[in-house]
Amino acid sequence: MADTTIFVNGRIYTSTADQHAQVPVFAECMVVADGLIRHVGASTDEPVQAARAAGAPTQDLAGRYLLPGFIDGHLHLLMVGQALQKISLDHCRTLADVRAAIAAGAAAHPAATRLFARGWTHSMTPDGVHCGDLDDIDPRPIFVDTKDLHSTWCNSAALAEVCERMGLPHDAPDLPGGTLQRGPDGRLNGVFNEGAVFQLIWPFVATVASMDEKMAAIKAAIAHFSSAGYTGIVDMAMDDNIWEPLMALRAHEGLGPMRIAAYWLLKPHDSLDAVLAQIDRAADMATGARGPGDSAGVAAAARRGALRARVRLPRVRRRRRHAGAGVRRAHRAAPAAAESAVAGATHGSAYSCFADKETGSLEVGKKADFVVVEGELLPEKLMEAVSGLGAGSEFQFL
């Protein structure tokens, strides 16, 4: 039987959304055909016997868990890939630690045009920062991101480069939804916050990187998440700087075993017409991603009108329940049962991007997105689990 596999002798997680808070339910066998789950149950069930009779190969799980593939419900794909190459500040506790880490990274990369660091938190620098705190470390432009990516701290060389390329004068007003930090003299001091990061730093970093570099970063991010058992990711701030290399990578070599959903970034603007134009752009991208004959693309075009209407509302409710970014994060966020961690990392994230009818749980008719885990589903053992993969690839624009 072509494109059919029988998975046996496993602990196949079959708890549904309504059962996640209870004791987990497992089956011993699953049949997958043409990328879809065709049966979940006992190895003696008739569909399993029929698949065997038709010559379907059998995969012995050797008692391991087979879970729904993990889905990261909130990330920034290009920046994740770029961050894998950045100087890590995760171990730092003080400004001195940060400076030492950047200095070591600079020495290790003498040929780099710019230096990028990640993992800064304001608790490391409680007295605040400015470009002068970095200027004597290295003459090259230095960019330091906070752990949440909502602030960037630059040295004077980096600040000058951003101002020149982005047309930013020192007397520029704060951007909508963001702030440009200033020194006592009123001039920019190298710290960008919130909307200023999204509208200045992110586009700057994306434009100074070549198309090949951006494609390589996206590919590295996908590989990184795949190695940890993820079969889906949700980019929460898609724009043209990410879209173009993503589509180029997809056309050139595909996206591997990863489903990607994306929310188009609507940049703050004082003009409602300017915001609506961004929504129109997002709908056009959605239609183009699926193709003119695809029902999802047609639905995206129709959704444009709904989005344009909703943007006028004073408040917009988002559909979000059990949204999680992975077993690791879910377990750290709340010491709940392992079943809750699995729910947040799978069904919850699928639900958050309206994909729960297709993926997020191991049910007949859904995509065969799963991960094989060797370990125990116990809170104290969850972090020790080792995963392997098993899904196909699809791009889903939301």
Write out the chain's pLDDT in tens, 398 residues.
Answer: 568 999 999 999 988 666 555 677 899 999 999 999 999 999 999 999 999 999 999 999 999 999 999 999 999 898 899 889 899 999 999 999 999 999 999 999 999 999 999 999 999 999 999 999 999 999 999 999 999 889 999 999 999 999 999 999 999 999 988 999 999 999 999 999 999 998 999 889 988 999 999 999 999 999 999 988 899 999 988 888 888 999 999 999 998 889 999 888 888 788 888 888 888 888 877 766 654 333 333 334 334 444 444 443 333 333 333 333 333 333 343 445 677 778 888 999 999 888 999 999 999 999 999 999 887 776 555 555 555 544 443 333 33
Write the DSSP symbol of residue 172: P
Task: In whole angstroms, give the CA distance from residue 343 to residue 267.
Answer: 32
Task: In whole angstroms, give the CA distance from residue 188 to residue 255.
Answer: 40
Q: Which of 35, 61, 74, 32 is nearest to 257 (CA)?
A: 35
Q: Domain 94-208 class? A: alpha beta
Amino acid at 371: V
**What is the C-alpha radius of gyration for the chain, rounded to an integer number of angstroms?**
23
HSE of 80, CA atoms in CB hemisphere, 13 A: 19
4-70+362-396 shares its CATH topology with 94-208? no
CB 33 within 8 A of CB 6: no
Q: How far is CA 291 from the centre of its chain?
A: 24
Q: Which of 143, 281, 259, 255 is nearest to 209 (CA)?
A: 143
- For the chain, which residues make up each domain, given as ranges? 4-70+362-396, 94-208
Strands (E), 69-213: 70-75, 87-88, 115-120, 142-146, 151-154, 178-182, 188-194
- The pTM of this model reads 0.74
Pairing of strands 142-146, 151-154: antiparallel
Residues 6+ apart with CB under 8 A from 32: 4, 5, 7, 38, 368
CB 21 within 8 A of CB 337: yes
Amino acid at 342: V
What is the sign of the dihedral through the CA atoms of 115, 116, 118 and 123? Answer: positive
Q: How far is CA 155 from the centre of its chain?
A: 28
The tokens describing 18, both together, are 């309504």
CB 367 within 8 A of CB 344: no
The tokens describing 205, both together, are 């970093």
Q: Domain 4-70+362-396 class? A: mainly beta
In the block, tokens 């009818």 appear at: 357
192 burial type by CB count under 10 A (0-12 exposed, 13-18 middle, 19+ buried): buried
pLDDT at 265: 83
pLDDT at 35: 92
pLDDT at 102: 98
* Helix, strand and coil in the chain, % to nearest 5: 40, 25, 40
Write the DSSP symbol of residue 260: E
In the block, tokens 């990028």 appear at: 116
Phi, psi of 275 (to 5 degrees): -65, -45
Task: In whole angstroms, give the CA distance from residue 79 to residue 106.
Answer: 20
Query: Hey, is 22 helix, strand or coil?
Result: coil
